[in-house]
Amino acid sequence: MSNAENTIRETVTSNDVVLFMKGTKAMPQCGFSSRVAGVLNFMGVDYKDVNVLADEAIRQGIKDFSDWPTIPQLYVKGEFVGGCDIVTEMTLSGELDQMLEAKGIAFDKEAAEKIREANA
C-alpha cells in the first residue's frame, strides 16, 4: 500500500465528509470542483477539502482508491458517493439530503430546498 493510499484512507476515515477537489473550498480551481464545493458550502455541510493539485501522488492515488477516473470525489463517512454529476443529481433529487440525514451529518435543509427550487 502506497503512502498516498494510506493518507487517503486516513483522511476518509477520520473525517465525516471529504471532498477531493482541484483547489480548495475557498478557491476552487475547476468548474466541477467549484460546483460540488458550492453545494456543500451553501448547504452548510462541514467538510474537509483536499486539494489534489497540491500533491500528484494524491491526485493519482484517489482515482485508484475509488476506481473513479475524475475529480472531484465526495466521501461521506468513509464511503465514496461520486463526482460532480452524481452529487448534482443527488442534490436535485433530495437523495443527498436523505443520505446526509441517515449518516447523521448536519446540513441546512432550507438551503437544500432552495437549490432544488432554483433548478426546478
Quickly state the pLDDT bin for 120 (edges 50, 70, 90).
Answer: confident
47-69 average pLDDT score: 96
Taking only the tens place, the pLDDT of each residue in 15-27 is 999 999 999 999 9
Local confidence band at 61 (pLDDT 50, 70, 90 cut-offs): very high
**pLDDT at residue 1 tops 80:** no
Per residue in 67-85, pLDDT (tens digit) is 999 999 999 999 999 999 9
Q: Which residues contact 8 (CB under 8 A, 6 or more apart)?
A: 20, 58, 61, 62, 65
Dihedral class, residue 78 (left if φ above 0, else alpha if ψ from -120 to 50, else beta): left
Provide the pLDDT for residue 100. Answer: 98
d(CA 39, CA 63): 22
The packing angle between helices 31-42 and 84-93, to 10°, is: 30
User: Where is 74: in which H helix or E strand?
Assistant: strand 73-76
pLDDT digits (tens, 9 = 90+) for 95-118: 999 999 999 999 999 999 999 999
The topology (CATH level 3) of 3-118 is: Glutaredoxin (3.40.30)
Mean pLDDT of 39-48: 98
